[in-house]
């Protein structure tokens, strides 16, 4: 691109070209290595095709338009009849179509609802990570749809009819019964006004009526309300129970879901999040009465993985934008990229993403093998909440720092940075907020022997990697103090990231991560970690090849 374009009053120069029409996969060295290290090498060509598709200027345009034109709720039709439908901008539908065509909503399951063979999780994780870099709001129904299949496993007959409708590559946004559609999406309703974390405080009821249930009550958050059905928690006679609540009754009439209003959110604007009342809605039970939490936690475990994947993707996009811009922008006759302090900041950001992507891809591998290998199941159980905690809480501050690398251009809406910045906190809040993730790690350590053993072995591995850094914890000390669980869980995540890097990245990267992330007290700002110039050189070359 020309850097000296004529304008009426001045020439334009010293601005970076748009960061688009790139291959989001092949230009991301750490991602390529992590995919290979976790068993998905055979997917490289397909992932590169996906990376080119999603890195196209057109896809970035769809992402922008879907967020500039948020969804609208139409509660009634012009004659006063209830409609309870949400209309989305065509750009949102295009994004949904592309994600579903690529199987982001279901590729880890077979049409019979069984888990697909490895490396289905790692291959999907890489795609999800790339899609999140471009637009994340539409990924809400995408993550819920695939995760719901895990909970539906508790009700094999229902799963057998739902799974073939989910495991297609057809997106059908029409408002009609799921049984008549070639493809369907699924949402989730747990949170009520009086409690989200504490779902046992749910007051919504599920009353048995023959072979179905009647659900009465509300949900304070019900995202993607145009999904074809929802997994909802409600109090049945036997206790808190998971229910399948479709938008239409079996007789074809609209089910009694009354969308009250849409939330006015900080970010996540392309996605609709509704408040809903169930006015005697038709529902089918999923799993035994009283087993609601146990049933739906299968779903939540998968959405938590996706939160960590998406936030890693946000950080990757923010980093790529910062590195790209700095290579073009000159300040004091020198590219920002060559200014010593900027290089340290950029390299430190790159190192954070190295750790995050290595960790989430390793975690995806654990999901690939959890069904057959107890150790991998323990890894998924222990590391999912830890990774969600560390990565999702890191992302907002990280994106802010990357934004600053672009100066004023980064703060302006036309760059993608403000959208990423607004989007990031929600991944830390939903699907279990930060403290709740830490409590979940404590629970795993207390109850799951395999998880506790894994914890010990990660700690020993960290000591070996870190050399002089002392073993950071032992299990008894770790579970003793709820008050200090954040410190322990943050360290656990960074240790697991170091171990994952050890499997996928060059030794120098792992060493840099260990000496800056395991040896230091938390809280240092990016670029204040004492990275050496040679380390910066390596990290920046890996982060983004020069064009
Ligand atoms: C945009 C958006 C969309 C959403 N979509 C959905 C949806 O589709 N379906 C759905 O069911 N929910 C949805 N949610 C709700 C979300 O899952 C909840 O907001 C979240 O789980 C937290 O619950 P809460 O808001 O009731 O907060 P609370 O449960 O009141 O928690 C508040 C804070 O207290 C902390 N905390 C809780 N317990 C403890 C403890 N014992 N010790 C220390 N700290 C603690 C939490 O970590 C949190 O930071 C959505 C939320 C948002 C923001």
Regarding the beta carbon of 197 and ligand 1, being less than 6 Å apart is answered yes
Q: Kindly report the protein residue whose alpha carbon is nearest to atom 48 of ligand 1.
A: 433
Measured in angstroms, how far is the CA atom of residue 199 from the centroid of ligand 1?
A: 10
Q: How far is CA 100 from CA 70, 85, 104, 423, 508, in A?
A: 20, 21, 6, 21, 38
Measured in angstroms, how far is the CA atom of residue 76 from the centroid of ligand 1?
A: 30
Rounded Cα distance between 450 and 266, Å, is 40
Regarding the beta carbon of 422 and ligand 1, being less than 6 Å apart is answered no
Question: Residue 1's pLDDT is what?
Answer: 47
Measured in angstroms, how far is the CA atom of residue 349 from the centroid of ligand 1?
A: 29
Q: Which two tokens stand for residue 462?
A: 């960290």
Measured in angstroms, how far is the CA atom of residue 511 from the centroid of ligand 1?
A: 36
Q: Kindly report the protein residue whose alpha carbon is nearest to atom 52 of ligand 1.
A: 430
Regarding the beta carbon of 360 and ligand 1, being less than 6 Å apart is answered no
Measured in angstroms, how far is the CA atom of residue 304 from the centroid of ligand 1?
A: 13
Cβ(519)–Cβ(482) below 8 Å? no
Regarding the beta carbon of 190 and ligand 1, being less than 6 Å apart is answered yes
Q: Kindly report the protein residue whose alpha carbon is nearest to atom 27 of ligand 1.
A: 196
Regarding the beta carbon of 258 and ligand 1, being less than 6 Å apart is answered no
Q: Kindly report the protein residue whose alpha carbon is nearest to atom 11 of ligand 1.
A: 190
Regarding the beta carbon of 273 and ligand 1, being less than 6 Å apart is answered yes
Mean pLDDT by 10 residues, the chain (547 residues): 68 95 98 98 98 98 98 96 96 98 98 97 99 98 98 98 98 98 98 96 98 98 98 98 98 98 98 98 98 98 98 98 98 97 97 98 98 96 98 98 98 96 98 97 93 87 67 73 91 94 95 86 75 94 90
Name the residue of 196, 267, 270 whose CB sits within 8 Å of the most ligand 1 atoms, as the mutation to test its pocket: 196
Q: Kindly report the protein residue whose alpha carbon is nearest to atom 26 of ligand 1.
A: 196
Buried b (16+ CB within 10 A) or exposed e, 60-86: bebbbbbbeebbebeeeeeeeeeebbb
Regarding the beta carbon of 425 and ligand 1, being less than 6 Å apart is answered no
Regarding the beta carbon of 231 and ligand 1, being less than 6 Å apart is answered no
Question: Residue 459's pLDDT is what?
Answer: 81
Measured in angstroms, how far is the CA atom of residue 196 from the centroid of ligand 1?
A: 5
For residue 512, give the 3-state DSSP assignment: helix
Regarding the beta carbon of 191 and ligand 1, being less than 6 Å apart is answered yes
For residue 330, give the 3-state DSSP assignment: strand
Q: Could you write out the three-class secondary structure of 524-537?
A: CCCCCCCCCHHHHH
| Ligand 1 atom nearest residue 196's Cα | 26
Regarding the beta carbon of 434 and ligand 1, being less than 6 Å apart is answered yes
Measured in angstroms, how far is the CA atom of residue 473 from the centroid of ligand 1?
A: 29
Q: Kindly report the protein residue whose alpha carbon is nearest to atom 51 of ligand 1.
A: 430
Q: Kindly report the protein residue whose alpha carbon is nearest to atom 35 of ligand 1.
A: 435
Regarding the beta carbon of 330 and ligand 1, being less than 6 Å apart is answered no
| Ligand 1 atom nearest residue 224's Cα | 8
* CA angle 21–349–454, rounded 5-degree value: 110
Regarding the beta carbon of 378 and ligand 1, being less than 6 Å apart is answered no
Rounded Cα distance between 97 and 532, Å, is 45
Closest CA to 152 of 266, 49, 302, 305: 302
Measured in angstroms, how far is the CA atom of residue 194 from the centroid of ligand 1?
A: 11
The owner of tokens 């750009």 is 91
Cβ(178)–Cβ(228) below 8 Å? yes
Measured in angstroms, how far is the CA atom of residue 430 from the centroid of ligand 1?
A: 6
């Amino acid at each position: 691109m020309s850097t000296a374009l004529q304008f009426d009053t001045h020439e334009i120069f010293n601005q970076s070209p748009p960061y688009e029409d790139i291959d989001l996969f092949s230009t991301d060295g750490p991602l390529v290595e992590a995919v290979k290290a976790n068993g998905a090498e055979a997917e490289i060509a397909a992932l590169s095709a996906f990376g080119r598709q999603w890195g196209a200027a057109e896809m970035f345009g769809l992402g922008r338009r879907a967020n500039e034109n948020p969804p609208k709720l139409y509660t009634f039709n012009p004659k006063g009849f209830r409609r309870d439908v949400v209309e989305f901008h065509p750009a949102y539908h295009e994004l949904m179509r592309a994600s579903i065509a690529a199987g982001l909503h279901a590729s880890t399951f077979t049409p019979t609802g069984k888990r697909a063979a490895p490396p289905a999780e790692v291959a999907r994780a890489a795609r999800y990570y790339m899609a999140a870099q471009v637009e994340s709001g539409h990924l809400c129904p995408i993550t819920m749809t695939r995760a719901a299949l895990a909970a539906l496993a508790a009700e094999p007959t229902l799963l057998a009819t739902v799974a073939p409708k989910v495991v297609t590559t057809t997106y059908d946004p029409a408002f009609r019964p799921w049984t008549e559609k070639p493809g369907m999406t699924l949402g989730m309703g747990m949170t009520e006004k009086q409690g989200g974390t504490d779902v046992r405080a749910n007051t919504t009821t599920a009353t048995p009526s023959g072979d179905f249930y009647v659900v009465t009550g509300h949900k304070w958050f019900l995202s993607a309300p145009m999904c074809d059905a929802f997994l909802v928690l409600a109090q049945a006679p036997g206790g808190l129970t998971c229910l399948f609540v479709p938008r239409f009754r079996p007789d074809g009439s609209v089910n009694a879901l009354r969308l009250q209003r849409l939330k006015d959110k900080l970010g996540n604007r392309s996605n609709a999040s509704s408040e809903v009342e169930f006015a005697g809605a038709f529902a089918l039970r999923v799993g035994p009465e009283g087993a609601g939490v146990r049933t739906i936690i299968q779903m939540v475990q998968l959405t938590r993985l996706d939160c960590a994947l998406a936030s890693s993707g946000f950080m990757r996009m923010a980093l790529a934008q910062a590195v790209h811009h700095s290579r073009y922008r000159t300040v004091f006759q020198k590219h920002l990229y060559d200014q010593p302090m900027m290089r340290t900041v950029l390299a430190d950001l790159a190192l954070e993403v190295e750790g995050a992507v290595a960790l989430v891809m390793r975690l995806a591998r654990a999901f690939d093998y959890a069904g057959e290998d107890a150790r991998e199941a323990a890894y998924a159980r222990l590391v999912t909440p830890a990774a969600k905690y560390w990565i999702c809480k890191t992302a907002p501050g990280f994106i802010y720092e990357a934004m600053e690398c672009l100066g004023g251009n980064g703060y302006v809406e036309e760059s993608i940075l403000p959208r990423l910045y607004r989007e990031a906190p929600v991944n830390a809040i939903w699907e279990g907020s930060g403290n709740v993730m830490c409590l979940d790690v404590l629970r795993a350590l207390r109850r799951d022997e395999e998880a506790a053993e894994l914890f010990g072995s990660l700690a020993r591995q960290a000591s070996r990697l870190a050399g002089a850094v002392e073993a950071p914890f032992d299990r008894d000390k770790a579970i003793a103090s709820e008050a200090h669980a954040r410190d322990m869980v943050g360290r656990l995540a960074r240790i697991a990231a170091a171990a994952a890097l050890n499997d996928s990245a060059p030794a120098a990267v792992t060493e840099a991560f260990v000496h800056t992330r395991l040896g230091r007290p938390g809280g240092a700002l990016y670029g204040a970690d004492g990275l050496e110039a040679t380390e910066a050189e390596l990290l920046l070359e890996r982060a983004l090849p020069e064009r």
